[in-house]
Structure 1
């Protein structure tokens, strides 16, 4: 009986870790796309995700999506629509601000513009957080869906004792996350735009000589990365409450996932986020909830110690 109970707890935590990890992976993919193409460390990524949560919340409640598509499909459609909204916002932010300290213009700045990028993105994060506090208030919000309070039962797997309960909202969010990542992988690997983005990331000078607009590629990559993370935020909002300061909590998860996967690797970022989700949920078997982040970074440090390049990063020999 005790063995069956322990097995059920482990399988339940594993299932929850896979579902949460899929969402974390989608967040990390957006950040990895920006860093992989632009080599810009964006401290405001978590706050753009927070805006994606609010965008999904107001699209669902204020633009008729709830009335047209109902409380079941409406929240997930709103989360997907938050992507294009934040894509436009990211495109504008890059054109007005980020482009000043990145690309060809960064060559004349100290540290190739990295110092200015850090200060600028940190400033954008502070503006977005405090602006959201001013406009939306500090009261927590969430996108209500009946799927959040229901689950599918898988089993019994071991006699009449072991069953796994999969939260329906998390399950749908995880499937959507995988579909978005698959679409992005196809876009990067097969489309003309994806080839231009890869060329701009690998060798901007050669790409310029080949007639590729590197600055335009950077702008699209930045906006696309913001849009993808906004979709992740909208999906997350169907499962967890959020407020203007939620971005700080998740930007740490994003960077940990990107480093674990290998800096610049989109597939690696997904598996890095998946690893964080699994560690976070599996740690609840032996640790209190308050120590989940501690478990994440203990595993993070161990992996980085033995694999400094991450799961899919490349080892570069320097002479």
Structure 2
């Protein structure tokens, strides 16, 4: 191989890895965007909801016999599917007992329209989940590795017999599932009665209430939906990435960066924001050491928000 062919192959390999990782980041960001965009709640616990979902999926796989029933290939994905109603119920209950106390009409009498209380509450939830998980699950790394995690598809050769791209099968399947989930969410929010009520509650809660929409219920469903979507993304990530009780800290900043980069209030924008972050992270590995990949993300993030403060898909005007 010539030096040029080596460089081209490295670039294409990083590009492919960025698209696959970006698909998972995009799904994480969409989960946060549903909560942040509809409820305007800054949820510091979102990364820990993802972590909890990873452990729920892991123990469904190991403890409920799914590994024996479905095998190591399909078992993790069946466990991810089974975790969705569990994490939806968890998010629903967290909103019902905790988050609802500092959102909606209750915030009128609170300082900063309840945002200060929301920050403290979600930070407290995050700390409880982190330390509770450390006590229950221990500090050791665990994962949901499948046979797909250690195999790859070869695309090529594309330049004579020299340039080929290797796509990890586990990451490829996870990216395809992410795209399918995004498509289903788009249909849910854009075409169903529930989706219309969620959008109405986000755009103008007072007008939505006058039209007979239960805004509190819409917020509760949005919070539960955002929780289970992010947990689902965590489960897909766990098939290739070992995790521990503090893994949420590694991704919550990436989630917020993706949401802001895509444009606050835009679920599609959040997905593309996460995709862009994945691409920047992987392409930066061509010129920067691994330790500086996240620094490259935030340099790019600052550049975009400086040139386009509303994000890639955001609106200049604020919602009423």
Which band: TM-score by shorter chain? Answer: over 0.9
How many residues get paired? 318
Match of 1:296 in 2: 297
Equivalent residue of 1:263, what SS? coil
Match in the other structure for 2:173: 172
In structure 1, the partner of 2:110 is 109
Instruction: Report if aligned partners of 1:76, 1:173 keep a CA contact under 8 Å in 2.
Output: no
Q: 1 CA distance for matches of 2:58 and 2:140?
A: 13
Matches within 5 A, 1:55-134: 55-134=56-135
* Aligned equivalent of 2:310: 309
Q: 1:153 to 1:305 in 2, by over 3 A?
A: same
Could you tell me which residue of structure 2 aligns to residue 26 of structure 1? 27
Which secondary structure state, in structure 2, belongs to the residue aligned with residue 155 of structure 1?
Answer: strand
Aligned equivalents of 2:57, 2:23: Cα separation in 1: 19
Deviation at 1:317, TM superposition (A): 7.7
**Alpha-carbon distance in structure 1 between the residues aligned to 2:265 and 2:68:** 41
Once the two structures are TM-superposed, the CA of residue 80 in structure 1 deviates from its matched residue by 2.6
Cα offsets for 1:85-133 (capped at 9, x unmatched)? 1111110000000000001111111110000000000000000000000
Name the residue aligned to 1:153. Answer: 154
Secondary structure in structure 1 of the residue aligned to 2:153: strand
Q: CA deviation at 1:12?
A: 0.2
The answer as to whether partners of 1:23 and 1:174 remain within 8 angstroms in 2 is yes
Shift of 1:81: 2.3
SS of structure 1 residue aligned to 2:226: helix
Q: 1:125 to 1:158 in 2, by over 3 A?
A: same
Shift of residue 268, structure 1, vs aligned partner? 0.3
Helix, strand or coil: the match of 2:154? strand
- 1:81 and 1:8 mapped to 2: Cα distance? 39
> Is 1:277 equivalent to 2:289 in the alignment?
no
Output the CA distance in 1 between the equivalents of 2:92 and 2:199: 19
**DSSP 3-state at the match of 1:41:** coil
Which residue of 2 is the match for residue 217 of structure 1? 218
CA contact (8 A) 1:261 1:271 kept: yes
Rounded Cα–Cα distance in structure 1 between residues aligned with 2:84 and 2:21? 19
Assess if the C-alpha contact under 8 Å between 1:148 and 1:167 holds in 2.
yes
| TM-score of the two chains, using structure 1 as the length reference | 0.98
1:60 & 1:3 partners in 2: Cα distance? 45
Aligned partner of residue 156 in structure 1, secondary structure: strand
Using structure 2 for the length normalisation, give the TM-score.
0.98
SS at match of 2:285: helix
1:82, distance to aligned residue in structure 2 (A): 2.1
Alignment of 1:191-202 (within 5 A): 191-202=192-203
Q: Report the more deviating stretch, 104-113 or 17-26.
A: 104-113
Q: RMSD of aligned C-alpha atoms?
A: 1.0
Q: Distance in 2 between matches of 1:55 and 1:245?
A: 15
- Give unpaired runs (5+ residues) of structure 1: none
1:149-201, Cα deviation, whole Å (9 max, x unpaired): 00000000000000000000000000000000100010000001000000111
In structure 1, C-alpha distance between the alignment counterparts of 2:318 and 2:255, rounded to whole Å: 27
Partners of 1:292 and 1:84 in 2: how far apart?
35
After TM superposition, list the pairs within 5 Å mapping 1:244-259 onto structure 2: 244-259=245-260
